[in-house]
């Protein structure tokens, strides 16, 4: 099944500075960036993966997988998923597309810290790729304006059924 990039971007632009009441706002308990990114991806994919623990789903704040709200857990789900839901791979920034996500590492470690959603790929450079995000709410923000130490662009290439 094809990933609907336009729907993902439309959702990101609509909710960048607001919170969808259908989803809990995790801003005060660790950040809302990956929750927001998952909502955007879901808007484009339309399918969740209800596999306990290792899937990717949200029913409510207490009934969800770690991959729905965790930066590194979302990465592991996307690049390893062979079942229902979105499937992704790490690509060079130059190959990113609208509706994909870019994960940023702010402090050198083995973990990444932030998951903004690509709303305009521009020329595929840090100055031209524009993102929307929660936690540090933004829309059409150039990747180059973040003070990051590493970047992990994730291209969503398929939606398994």
pLDDT at 159 over 90: yes
For position 17, what pLDDT does the model report? 98
Joined tokens for residue 140 = 């059409």
Reported as a single tens digit per residue, the pLDDT across 104-115 is 999 988 899 999
Beta bridge partners of 117: 101, 132
What span, in angstroms and rounded, lies between the C-alpha atoms of 105 and 111?
A: 7
Find where tokens 């829309």 sit: 139
- Angstrom CA distances, 11 to 8, 127, 128, stand at 5, 23, 20
For position 69, what pLDDT does the model report? 98
Q: Which tops the pLDDT comparison, 60 or 1?
A: 60
Percent over 90 (pLDDT), the chain: 96
Q: Per-residue confidence at 65, pLDDT binned at 50, 70, 90?
A: very high
Backbone angle region of 3, left / alpha / beta, with phi > 0 → left and psi within -120 to 50 → alpha: beta
In the three-class reduction of DSSP (H, G, I as helix; E, B as strand; rest coil), residue 81 is classed as coil
For position 129, what pLDDT does the model report? 98
Q: Which CATH number fits domain 5-160: 1.10.760, 3.30.70, 1.20.1640, 3.90.1720?
A: 3.90.1720
For position 33, what pLDDT does the model report? 98
Domain ranges of the chain: 5-160
Reported as a single tens digit per residue, the pLDDT across 98-145 is 999 999 999 988 899 999 999 999 999 999 999 999 998 999 999 999
In the three-class reduction of DSSP (H, G, I as helix; E, B as strand; rest coil), residue 153 is classed as strand
Mean pLDDT computed over 56-71:
98
Give all strands of the β-sheet with 117-120 in edge-to-edge order.
85-90, 150-160, 101-105, 117-120, 130-133, 138-142
pLDDT at 1 over 90: no
């Amino acid at each position: 099944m094809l990933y609907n990039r336009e729907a993902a971007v439309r959702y990101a632009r609509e909710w960048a500075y607001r919170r969808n009441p259908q989803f809990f706002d995790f801003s005060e308990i660790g950040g809302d960036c990956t929750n927001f990114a998952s909502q955007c991806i879901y808007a484009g994919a339309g399918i969740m993966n209800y596999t306990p623990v290792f899937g990717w789903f949200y029913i409510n704040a207490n009934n969800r997988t770690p991959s729905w709200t965790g930066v590194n857990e979302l990465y592991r789900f996307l690049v390893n998923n062979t079942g229902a839901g979105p499937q992704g791979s790490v690509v060079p920034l130059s190959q990113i597309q609208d509706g994909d996500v870019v994960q940023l590492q702010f402090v050198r470690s083995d973990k990444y810290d932030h998951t903004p959603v690509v709303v305009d790929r521009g020329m595929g450079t840090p100055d031209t790729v524009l993102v929307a995000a929660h936690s540090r709410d933004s829309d059409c923000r150039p990747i180059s304006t973040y003070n990051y130490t590493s970047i992990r662009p994730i291209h969503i290439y398929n939606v398994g059924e």
